[in-house]
Structure 1
């Protein structure tokens, strides 16, 4: 399911009024998106391999920014899945395929620092944050 399918408020509604000209978009998307509509979106790599889906979006309440997307990868029906905190800046929204793109191979993701859904890391720990950003090659601020 993608963000347009979960758009209960009509944020990404498209009007196709043929007699009045070109297709027009209403709402803020895709430059501003509702967090609830992004949870569940699939994530692919540049080779179009499915890497999983977004389970949660982590907001840094100290600076008002999105810090991480929690990505679920592996397992079947939630069993054996591993969670990964992916820096938000490592993800790109593909508005054509309506998914996120993360530039890592499946093998690299398998060896990424991850965690179990019942044992989350301290994401506010500066050392942990630096390690995650270093792994994905993103800038740590």
Structure 2
């Protein structure tokens, strides 16, 4: 199977911007749907933004992105990077919520519109995911 990874940012809307229960609901539903669709990924919410990486087959990612564009819990969805990858970076999780590392604020304030925003966002998600690594 050819794998792709999409990294996007969007602005959280309503209670999802800072409420814990709406975020837990998103993670639960996403985990279930992503398992069904063989997608993996990580979601970080910080200062009213979502930063997410999602991986899988192109057709499954396209269906997910169509649903996400219609989802009223966020707006301003902007794809930062979209590329073929050889292996999953977030393969341990159908969907995991990550805590924002200190660099998240700097990314949102200074690098969101940079030409390399996709690579920076992916690095941010990788950094945040290190605390979630499963011990052997």
* Common fold: TM-score over 0.5: no
- TM-score, normalized by length of structure 1? 0.28
